[in-house]
Amino acid sequence: MPLVPVAKRSALEFVNGSHGRDVRHAQTNFGALTGDERDQVVYDQLEDELEPFPDIEGNRKQYEILSWDMEPDDVAIFNARVIHGGSDLLHPDRDLKVFNTQWLDDDIRVMFRLEGMDPDHSQVMTEHGLAPGDRVGGPLYRELWQEPVAV
């Protein structure tokens, strides 16, 4: 959700339908793109099991890329497996300001993958007693809503 107006040319972009493919892509070090040390993530990848991340930017005409003008009251809700990213065309006098949350269904289980997460929360999850196979929950992942039980 943007906290400032964002023109389509500067907005988050999505590759339509990319979440529907049964493919796991090799992760990209986001810090290599931003140059920000806080974004650096080193992945221990099993390259033979992962497809290289496609060159979306170099082949834009091969993909249906979606984005919109957005105002502070607008919200983009999407499956995290959808290939998405910023256009890197921010207005020069405007900082990007967004509010971001991630929502999980109650059947989600912990699974640490060798290629990691971005950001990598595996250490803090382990410190809070979460192990592979556990339901996501506890003080790190609060339950915000539960479907009422029919009586």
Q: Is the pTM of this model over 0.85?
A: no
Domain ranges of the chain: 1-97, 104-143
Q: What is the pLDDT of residues 88-125, one digit of tens each?
A: 677 777 777 888 888 888 888 988 876 656 667 888 89
Pair of tokens at residue 49:
């099991």
Residue 14 has phi, psi (to 5 degrees) of: -130, 140
Q: Name residues whose C-beta falls within 8 Å of residue 29's C-beta, 6 or more positions apart in sequence.
A: 39, 40, 41, 42, 43
Q: What is the pLDDT of residues 16-29, one digit of tens each?
A: 988 888 777 776 66
If you search the block for the tokens 């996501």, which residue do you land on? 136
